[in-house]
């Protein structure tokens, strides 16, 4: 990753690993930072990715009735403790990237034009 610009998909995962670079301590702060980034980026790709990720979490956890909850609240609930929330988010994102439904998202398609998704998953599974 040295000497090159991170793709938006990589950034979503990178922020969970190197959160101190962004002054982030938990998923609440992660999503606040990400909201500012998305507004500045003026791109719908991240929004589409997060919407699909949210739908994945709802489908994967039907017993909790997450439909009326914000994404950051869903992730906070699933992590149990705020101190573990970034680690939980990373794990959930990696699981989502392994699902077929993520392959059709523009953010993922753009990333896989030049990179292998399996390598990204493997790299961030180490942490």
Domain ranges of the chain: 8-125
pTM of this structure: 0.91
pLDDT exceeding 90 applies to what percent of the chain?
84
pLDDT tens digits, 75-114? 999 998 777 899 999 999 999 999 999 999 999 999 999 9
pLDDT of residue 81: 77
Q: Rounded to whole angstroms, how far apart are CA atoms 63 and 116?
A: 34
The string of DSSP codes covering 49-87 is HHHHHHHHHHHH-GGG-GGGS-HHHHHHHHHSSGGGHHH
């Amino acid at each position: 990753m040295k000497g090159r610009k991170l793709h938006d998909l990589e950034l979503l995962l990178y922020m969970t690993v190197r959160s101190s670079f962004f002054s982030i301590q938990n998923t609440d702060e992660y999503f606040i930072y990400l909201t500012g980034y998305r507004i500045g980026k003026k791109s719908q790709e991240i929004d589409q990715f997060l919407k699909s990720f949210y739908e994945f979490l709802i489908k994967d956890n039907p017993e909790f009735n997450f439909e009326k909850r914000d994404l950051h609240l869903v992730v906070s609930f699933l992590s149990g403790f705020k101190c573990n929330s970034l680690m939980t988010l990373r794990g959930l994102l990696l699981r989502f990237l392994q699902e077929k439904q993520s392959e059709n998202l523009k953010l993922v398609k753009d990333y896989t034009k030049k990179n292998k998704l399996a390598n990204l998953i493997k790299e961030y599974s180490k942490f």
